[in-house]
Chain A
Amino acid sequence: MSVLVLIEHDNTEVKASTLNTVTAATQLGSDVHGLVVGNDCANVASAAAKISGISKILSVDSSEYKYGLVENVAPVVKDIASGYSHVLAPASTFGKNLLPRVAAMLDVQQVSDIIEIVSEDTFIRPIYAGNALARVRSTDSVKLITVRTTTFDAAIEDSGSSAPVEELSAMGDEQLSSFVKHDLTRSERPELTTANIVISGGRGMQSGENFIMLERIADKLGAAVGASRAAVDAGYVPNDYQVGQTGKVVAPDLYLAVGISGAIQHLAGMKDSKVIVAINKDEEAPIFQVADIGWVADLFTAIPELESALD
């Protein structure tokens, strides 16, 4: 049987989360197809066809899919899913939004956010903010799965060859919702979930302006900037900076937590990082229990010191 991967994209490029999802798919079967649903997305289809491990791309290109409205996209996935043993999507907001809607249409109990594939029907997934790991077996005939991208390597983006692209016909606008606007955070820095180094600030930063101190270090290290929920709630930085159980999950080579106490919900999003550094003035802060390197210091002296020491 073949495995279907839902390709995450913005009609222009394939998102990095797709590459990790393809790797998970190749662990389940050798015939991996990708589904591109979008508008004016021929470039995406041809880029996806080059991903190592993909043997075919199915593409549906029509205006009702321009903004990826789930009410319109879900029927397309549902229509072809029954021909596959597994349907995989990244556990990004794209996959989380779409796949359960498809699962219900197919009467399937989705398995969310897997971190390991044990066999074709058995998976490991974190529960309780990663404080426990559940080994679960799905009994559904088609298995719908979202994949935690940080625990699967990225597939090679350009394998040097191109899988065939097959066009499918569009299914029309369900007229249930419409797109109004995007307010996307623009940044020249690497994406949070794929960056090799992440520097995150918490409530201890005290203001949005003070995050500039972290940005300067990020630019020296080629790092992404993240934040705790408290920093986002306080309006210091936008929502898409949030790392944690209910934000983004990151696992960079180096994670620097600055003025973050280390609540379980925050740890859930970063404790699989290779090396964790904590800078906090409270030596009792729980973040030090998971940090490989701890520096008990006032961040307002430590961060400028770190910046000049990096020169």
Chain B
Amino acid sequence: MKVIVPVKRVIDANIKVRVRMDGSGVELNNVKMSMNPFCEIAVEESIRFKEAGKADEIIVVAAGPQQSQETLRNGLAMGADRGILIQTDIDLEPLAIAKLLTAVVEREQPGIVLMGKQAVDNDNNQTGQMLSAMLNWSLGTFVSKIEIEDDSFNVVREVDGGLETVRLSRPSVITVDLRLNEPRYASLPNIMKARRKEIEVLTPDDLGIDVTPRVTVLEVTEPPARNAGVRVQSAEELIDKLKNEAKVL
């Protein structure tokens, strides 16, 4: 089985973003960028499939600026076999990314697309669901466990009330949640090896896809700040404040 894992380059999850003074967005210059943590989990799972003899080829796919090559190299260093970059400087929306991925999937014919449930930049939580619709494939979102059967996947989904298990006919789009696995660090030899792996570079035009944004960002602002309040030393003092000052008890 061939596996496609889309990966996104985002501001590192440990960095507190700064909003640009002119309201045009968040500051991306001189900020540490990394692979979206959910994408890392998807890459890790694909490698475990391969190690278990259930997958024979893993293709990481990124859509975005030229620097997304680094994100692909990351995935290759973790253990993916080859990469595809769909290069564009347009700020891509989930709908456009799903269209680009559809074109890649139609060409590569994988048995599964494994991807993060959301990217921690725009927190949209859409791309996998959209891709599944465009392909008319089964969809498993927020997945924390995957079992591979002959013609299906049994997946456990993290839903608001707890857990749900569904059987998805192959091929499927599966979006992964935090508890699926813990991604490995790439070893130095594997980082070296990854440099020699192939990355094919395409453009949206090559794939015949219009990626013009549909949603215009008018302004990005800082949220209202919360200030640190008072300190208490005892339970009595805490309850007194909650009852008599905050009036929430």
Contact = CB atoms under 8 A, between A and B. Distances in A.
A265 B13 contact: yes
Interface stretch (A34-42, A55-63, A105-113, A205-213): A105-113
A176 B142 contact: no
A92 B160 contact: yes
Contacts of A254: 242, 246, 248-249
A161 interface: no
Interface string B79-108: 000000000000001110010000000000
B132 interface: yes
Given A109-B214, A293-B242, A248 B94 contact: no
A101 B132 contact: yes
Interface of A: 67, 69-71, 74, 92-94, 96-105, 107-113, 122, 126-140, 175-185, 193, 197, 221, 229, 232-233, 238-240, 245-246, 248, 253-254, 264-265, 271, 274-277, 288-296, 302, 305-306, 308-310
B158 A135 contact: no
B141 A97 contact: yes
B218 A122 contact: yes
Which 9 A-B pairs rank lowest in CB-CB distance, beginning with the nearest? A100-B129, A104-B130, A292-B229, A109-B214, A104-B133, A309-B235, A100-B126, A180-B165, A176-B138
Contacts of A97: 129, 139, 141-142
B133 A101 contact: yes
6 contacts: A100-B127, A132-B223, A183-B163, A238-B162, A246-B38, A254-B249
A176 B229 contact: no
Given A70-B139, A128-B123, A177-B166, 19 more contacts: A71-B132, A93-B141, A128-B120, A133-B220, A137-B215, A137-B218, A138-B215, A139-B214, A233-B178, A238-B162, A239-B158, A240-B158, A240-B159, A240-B161, A276-B226, A294-B228, A294-B231, A295-B233, A309-B236
Nearest to A268: B123
Sorting the interface of chain B by its residue count into under 10, 10 to 19, 20 to 34 or 35 or more gives: 35 or more
Contacts of B120: 128-129, 245-246, 265
Contacts of B214: 108-109, 138-140
Contacts of B142: 93, 96-97
A133 B248 contact: no
Interface in B215-249: 215-223, 226, 228-236, 238-239, 241-242, 246, 248-249
B162 A296 contact: no
A298 B5 CA distance: 44
Contacts of A183: 162-165
B133 A105 contact: yes
Contacts of B239: 306, 309-310
B214 to A, nearest CB: 4
Given A233-B179, A246-B118, A104 B13 contact: no
A93 B236 contact: no
A291 B228 contact: yes
B123 A245 contact: yes
B156 to A, nearest CB: 8
B3 to A, nearest CB: 19
B6 to A, nearest CB: 14
Contact of A101 (B93, B130, B169): B130
Nearest to A255: B248
B95 A104 contact: yes
A94 B159 CA distance: 8
A136 B123 contact: no
Nearest to A107: B95
A113 B137 CA distance: 25
A99 B132 CA distance: 12
A264 B179 contact: no
B217 A136 contact: yes
A131 B219 CA distance: 14
B125 A175 contact: no
Given A104-B130, A248-B160, A271 B94 contact: no
Given A109-B95, A294-B232, A239 B162 contact: yes
Nearest to B239: A309
Nearest to B234: A305
Contacts of B98: 104
A8 B32 CA distance: 39
Given A132-B223, A135-B218, A182-B162, A112 B248 contact: no
